[in-house]
Amino acid sequence: MKNQNQPVASEGYPFIGLFAFVTLVFGLLDWDFLAFVMLALTLFAIYFFRNPERCIPDEEGAVVAPADGKVIFVGQVPEDRYFHAEVTKVSIFMSVFNVHVNRAPAAGKVIDMFYNRGEFFNASLDKASMQNEQGGILLETQGGQRLLFVQIAGLVARRIVTYPVVGDLLERGARYGLIRFGSRVDVYFPSGAEVSAKVGDRTCAGETVLGYLR
C-alpha cells in the first residue's frame, strides 16, 4: 500500500508542486508579496501532508487510534450495519493542523468495506456519523473478533482516500488512508471489548491505545 515510508503522503504532491511552481513564477516576476503568500501555502501543504513514523505498541489485543486528534465521543450506540447491537463507539476529530494519514487500529483481514456519499456537516457534530460522506472497513482479527472503523468527511474535508481492498491483511498501525483537510474517524468496538479512551483525550495515530479486544 502507498505511503508506508515516505515522509510526505503522495496525495500532497500535486498541491505542493502547484504551489511551488506558482511561487517560482511570482518570484521571477518580482511580485514579492504574492510569492511570499504562495511560499507559505507550499510550506503548509508539506506540513499538512506530513507522514511521520510512529512507535506501534505490541500489547496483545491493543486497539490503537486510527487518527491524530481529539476524542469527542465515547459511548454506546446502535450499530446495525454489521454488529446489529449496541456497541461502544470512539470518535476522533482531526483539525487541519493534525497529521491526516490514518492508521489501522488493529491487525487483521479486511472482510468488508463500504462507501456512502453524503453531506459535509461539521465533523464534530453527532449527525456527521450518519449523514456525512464516509467510508468504512470491517476488520476481522486472527482471534475472530471484528472491529469497524469509519473515515468521515467534514465541513472542509472533501476527499476520503482508502488504500486496502477486501481480502487485504493489515498490520496494527499500518497506514491505510487519509482524509483531506480536517475530519474524523469513528471506531466501533465489539461487545466485550475494554475501552479506555475518554472524551477530551488527545490521540496519536498508531500509538495511542483506545482499548483492548479481549
Please report, in angstroms and rounded to a whole number, the separation of the first and last CA atoms in the chain.
Answer: 29
Q: Are 189 and 85 in contact (CB under 8 A)?
A: no
Catalytic residue (one of 95, 183, 191, 196): 183
All residues at 6 or more sequence positions from 91 whose CB lies less than 8 Å from its CB, including other chains: 71, 72, 73, 74, 129, 184, 185, 186, 187
Is 10 known to be catalytic?
A: no
Burial of 60 (0-12, 13-18, 19+ CB in 10 A): exposed
Burial of 203 (0-12, 13-18, 19+ CB in 10 A): buried
Look up cell 475501552; give the residue. Answer: 195
The b/e string for 116-137 (b: 16+ C-beta within 10 A; e otherwise) is eeeebbebbeeebbeebbbbbb
> Quick check: 104 and 173 in contact, CB under 8 A?
yes
- Residues belonging to the active site: 183
